[in-house]
Structure 1
């Protein structure tokens, strides 16, 4: 291997344990890095979901001593490979912290469903991920290679740079290490009371506004931003947005002050899993050259699966999302009666807040021949919707990167997006100018209003019904875009290389 040597620390990985897009990134990016010649290993907690994953897992001989407050806890390390790769993944075992998730009982990786039906964070989340962050650093000497960079992700691992600087830097084998912190969603920061500070073993004088303290609380993500050698977010636009009050969630001033070490790299799309040319979940495979003839077969299959009338000329709008305020479901529900007036069918897939579940169920009951609904997540149906819908709705209030718009582009299902974050960086709006230039790949609007969403869909349907040659052009242009992980991984390798060069300059004066 001639590329950088990277330890990738994450709280979740697709194929083992997943709650969202971070897990997809954590599975796909290390694979792509390895294909570019990097030496990479992944480390995550050993949840019950990992045990149930069906992946082959072996116990290693390593037992790590992990400091936690005034105790030292022993944790065993397990090992496997990322699916479809030779990339090793290590699991940190500690039963009291990580063997509690059970979907049957409403217990997830970070939250549990309470008696009232709402979700609440586990009260010991701070302790769990302080422990995990220390374990990541204790694992370093036991890897098959000597890492140069520890790449940490979100608040759950954001204390790794802090511990490295304050507790490990002087130890043999750690002085060369550099850290990269990726912020996947700034809204989740890991904010806890000051009383958790003794669990870190860090000196109390670090609890000040320029280091660990945040309005009287201990903010894990803020600490990581200050201590990490480099920071990135998952799109260039989001990297700029989080330096503003609208998107900064209280950290905009800090992020603006460290913009010299802040970059944005758009996530990639795993085309091994998401490609209509060889997708086993859809009724008919297709390419840009055959999309016009073959995609209608997928549309008919989608309509049948959701008990909708199979009508080829009726436009189908699809939405796959967490049903939460961030994703713009409030806009869609407000505009949806107008979409029906425009002659559309609408299909929803997702789960989230109870209020949106109730509103969608009521909407479906009022229009059973026009609206399809699946509450929950279903991998196969997600592929069916991406392939069968005519337009994909993604009007997010904010979207650090987004993956579904990348899937939609690949499947020739032009996304309708709000201009924010990664949506702004990946979708080219179908203005008359962009249509004439042959660069349009979807439809975009700026104002976070139901009327802006409605007017954008109405414009898309104008092309669909009255200028089908232009609509087909947008579909085919979208399908030919390259948003592969190979492209993203090259940018990460360049970022790692810059960090390693910094180390070399420091070591050689």
Structure 2
């Protein structure tokens, strides 16, 4: 029997994307359909979403949704049903999804995403004719108030699940907004929406939902500790019996070197020699020296303390003292951006940097580099190391969160057994990273060993098949309960 699920999220690839959340939400409908789960997704009606979906049928209207009229428009993305919450006063913006053109948070973000959660709760309780979901699945703080609205409605409701993609982002707003957010006075307490004297969107969802998931088994354990829990570890320890980790997967129709139109030469595990053409194209694109024997390292990442780029900067002098090149795409912290641009100027032909993001160049990096770097201090799951496995770029990763769960370290036993797929380091410090980089370069100079690491990675199943089965089982368990 088909189980119906309403997914509520603030982004979904390919309609609108700032990070891995969008990739997960975009992949779920097709992946879960094979497991007998019908997913419909509710998104904010950003201009880009509405343009992509076109003019669909209006299936639900609100006379006043936090400051203006709003309506839900139904559309389709391939075979997936999408509900766009059209609220021009909340989403018709020229800036980003969460920040204005200057990078500052929109001052009405509390209402923008409370509206998304409120509409999700209404749909979950049968506001749409012919659609009665058995589960509401909310992603991150932007949707996490939905379980609270359902809890305090006093009406029958479906099961609720909240997935945490990064617990560092929590959505905290002043307690004075309680009434304006349509939350009852008795919701403001430790067992409700109150969080250190404020209204906590993510905290409310984690407190009041039926099941909690995050995007890797290790991160599910980490966030129950004071080191990684960002203030929510006590709540998560108290609810440990409903917390689980399900690894993300990769959309194989998009990330497949054998069919990828965005790279210079297609290849698979049996034709790895063709990767050399992608290396040449990448070196040309980023103005790196055409050196076929340099150890070419790649990074595609948001630039932040979390992602550990400062540790890479600390290791650049010794990397540049060896036959090494760096290809980096990213944006974020201005100091880090400026530091990498300065490194590019100081080491022309050895360091190539693009500030910003290009999907085509991101694919070419994965297809052209020898090793892919993910030195994160914490990483809920990570997708770029999974793309690297698919493309034969050997990952060098910190032993945290989903990086620990997805990469098999090239220690002596793993090399002997033929299981190794990359290099891990711990703790996440510049010194440990330096040792991992040296180890990886030694492995790279042993061509037979490096080829085995590449082929092991390319043969690893990083698809949505296994995660989809876990999600389907969780949905059914929650719905039965």
CA deviations over 1:197-255 (Å, ceiling 9, x no partner): 11232221221122221111111111101110000000000000001111110111111
Equivalenced residues, count: 479
Is residue 451 of structure 1 aligned with residue 431 of structure 2? Answer: yes
What residue in structure 2 maps to residue 112 of structure 1?
A: 100
Asked if the contact 1:57/1:79 (under 8 Å) is kept, the reply is: no
Is the Cα–Cα contact under 8 Å of residues 134 and 163 in structure 1 kept in the other structure?
A: yes
Matched, 1:395 2:375: yes
Q: What displacement does 1:143 show?
A: 5.6
| Aligned position for 1:483 | 462
Q: Equivalences for 1:274-423 in 2 at 5 Å?
A: 274-291=255-272, 293-423=273-403
- Equivalent-residue separation in structure 2 for 1:211 and 1:95 (angstroms): 30
Shift in Å at residue 135 of structure 1?
1.2
Residue deviations 1:328-368 (CA, integer Å, cap 9, x gap): 11001111121121210101001111111110111000011
Q: Distance in 1 between matches of 2:315 and 2:209?
A: 43
* Residue equivalent to 1:496: 475
- Structure 1: 4+ residue segments shifted above 4 A: 66-69
1:435 aligns with 2:415: yes
User: What residue in structure 2 maps to residue 165 of structure 1?
Assistant: 151
- CA offsets 1:432-464 (integer angstroms, 9 cap, x no match): 110101110000001121121111111111111
* Matched residue, 1:62: 59
CA distance in 2, matches of 1:256, 1:227: 15
Find the counterpart in structure 2 of residue 506 from structure 1.
none
Partner of 2:449: 470
Matched, 1:137 2:137: no
Deviation at 1:19, TM superposition (A): 1.3
2:79 aligns with one of 69, 83, 86 = 86
Q: Which residue of 1 aligns with 2:168?
A: 187
Matched, 1:21 2:20: yes
- C-alpha distance in 2, partners of 1:121/1:158? 18
- CA separation of 1:431 and 1:64: change in aligned 2, threshold 3 A: same
CA contact (8 A) 1:265 1:488 kept: yes
1:144 to partner: Cα distance: 4.3
Cross-structure match for 1:150: 136
State whether structure 2 residue 10 is matched by structure 1 residue 11.
yes
Q: Is the 8 A contact 2:8 2:116 kept in 1?
A: no
> Residues 493 and 77 from structure 1, CA distance in 2 versus in 1: closer, same or farther, beyond 3 angstroms?
same
| Pairwise CA distance, 1:108 | 0.7
Q: String of CA shifts for 1:363-420, please: whole Å, max 9, x gaps.
A: 0000111011111100000000000000001000110010000000011111100000
Alignment check: 8 A CA contact 2:163 2:212 kept: yes
CA distance in 2, matches of 1:143, 1:320: 44
1:64 Cα deviation from its structure 2 partner: 2.1
Report the equivalent of 2:43.
Answer: 44
Which runs of no fewer than 5 residues in structure 2 stay unpaired?
A: none
Select 1:271's aligned residue among 241, 247, 252.
252
Aligned twin of 2:205: 224
Deviation at 1:195, TM superposition (A): 1.0
Distance in 2, matches of 1:288 and 1:496, equals 36
1:74 aligns with 2:69: yes
Give the deviation of 1:303 after TM superposition.
0.9
Instruction: Spell out, residue by residue over 1:255-314, the C-alpha distance to the aligned partner (whole angstroms, 9 max, x if none).
Output: 1100100000001111110011111111111111111x1111211111111111212111
SS at match of 2:39: strand
For residues 173 and 413 of structure 2, the distance between their equivalents in structure 1, rounded to whole angstroms, comes to 50
- 5+ residue gaps, structure 1: 503-509
SS in 1 for 2:228: helix
Contact residue 121 and residue 147 of structure 2 kept, 8 A? no
2-side partners of 1:404 and 1:375: how far apart?
A: 17
TM-score, length basis structure 2: 0.97
SS for the counterpart of 2:302 is: coil
> Which of 92, 113, 116 is equivalent to 1:99?
92
Q: CA RMSD in A?
A: 1.4
The answer (yes or no) to whether the contact 1:68–1:199 under 8 Å persists in 2 is: no
Query: Per-residue deviation at 1:74?
Result: 3.5
SS of 1:17's partner is coil
Match of 1:236 in 2: 217
Q: Give the match for residue 33 of structure 2.
A: 34
SS at match of 1:43: strand
What is the DSSP-based 3-state SS (H/G/I as helix, E as strand, rest coil) of the residue aligned with 2:332? coil
Q: Does 1:128 align with 2:74?
A: no
Q: Which deviates more from structure 2 when the two are superposed, residues 181-190 or residues 297-306?
A: 297-306
